[in-house]
Amino acid sequence: MAEFNSYANPKVETKRFKIYADVSESGLAPEWELQGRGVESWTVEENQDVEKKTDVLGYVDIERGTAQPTQSGVAIKLRKGSKFAEMLFNAWFKRDTSKLDAVKMLQKFEFADGADENTCLARLEEDVMIAINNFTGEAGGCLGFEVDIHYANKTTTGTMPKVDGEAITFTPDSAE
């Protein structure tokens, strides 16, 4: 069971949920880039598939299908030095989104302790599809993309250090 730590005092700040995208070109060893600079909000819609059926006696049977988690309308600003922004721009510019079809992402929950006090809970999400909705810009503002992040439910739970070091590390939970 997750235990909230001092970062949840008294409420958990949004900055304690971090998302990293694998921006490696080879795909062999992940190169994690922290996302969120310029993003004003995060929302992960679970999109639960729930079906209710009432039988002839008036009882309701409820079945839960597979969730289809999605982050909709995420605004990613184009920033020099952001490999993720470059990935998005190149896919959009070349009209070849195939490199956005199976992205790896890490979700880090700094407010929930991991196995020891220096770690927190994390999830590795694989086969994530990034859908570009819009190439955006406003007068006096910045250019960017509005994207939807579609999770494939290929999830590995584990831990990460609460404080990022030079390398971003994810340790999967051991199989029990």
pLDDT digits (tens, 9 = 90+) for 53-86: 999 999 999 999 888 899 988 988 899 999 999 9
How many residues appear in the chain? 176
85: helix, coil or strand? Answer: helix
Q: For the purposes of burial, counting CB atoms within 10 Å of the CB of 108, is it exposed (0-12), middle (13-18) or buried (19 or more)?
A: buried
Here the tokens at position 143 are: 């250019």
Question: What pLDDT, on a 0 to 100 scale, did the predictor assign at position 85?
Answer: 94
The bridge status of strand 154-161 relative to strand 103-113 is unpaired
Q: How far apart are CA 17 and CA 107, in angstroms?
A: 7
Q: How far apart are CA 110 and CA 151, in angstroms?
A: 20
Confidence of residue 1 (pLDDT cuts 50, 70, 90): low
Asked if the model's pLDDT at residue 176 lies above 70, the reply is: no
What is the share, in percent, of the chain residues with pLDDT greater than 70? 98
Asked if the model's pLDDT at residue 38 lies above 80, the reply is: no
**Of 7-16, 91-100, 136-145, highest mean pLDDT:** 91-100
